Amino acid sequence: MKLTYYERVSLIFLLEILKSLPSQDKLSDESIELMSEALAHGWERDYFSAIDMWIEKETFSAAECKEVIDILQMHRLIINAKYQTFVSSDEDRFFLKFQGFSGNEESKYLSYTNYLIERRGLFMELRNKGGHNSHFPMLDRYRRMAAEWRKADDSFNLNEADVLRILSASKHTPL
């Protein structure tokens, strides 16, 4: 990352202020010292090496955030449709339940879901005591389900036919 001389000086001053504060959970005094030293010497590769482990280098776009919110909203509306009254098999109920996202293949989706549910307190009816790691990729399934959800005449008041169509999409596995 290219920083100007003045940006480096500003960051060093900010790190000095941070170091004077009471102990930080994420950044140790040693980490702050390493970053300050790298910035002072202009070692670009190491500017942020001490914080790379807990700050994502890539952002999660507004479109990706909206996709997660839509998926959570869809699952909320499936619950509100009282699907249990017309979906009787445990297998079908499993396919309609929000399972979370894969911690390996969909980690940014999982992180944002955890943030929304656990930190912001949204979509609490979808909260899973065991966490939201599905241990299996779910995004394709949710996208198929969401495509069917959007076809509903009233996507905020799902009827039995809507839920059954969404259920069918959740079970369909493309070849």
> Any idea which architecture 62-171 has in CATH?
Orthogonal Bundle (1.10)
Q: Is the pLDDT of residue 175 over 50?
A: no
Q: What percent of the chain clears pLDDT 90, i.e. is strictly above it?
A: 53
pLDDT average, residue stretch 81-108: 90
Backbone angles phi, psi at 79, to 5 degrees: -60, -45
Percent helix, strand and coil across the chain, each to the nearest 5:
55, 0, 40
Q: Where are the domains of the chain?
A: 5-46, 62-171
pLDDT average, residue stretch 139-143: 97
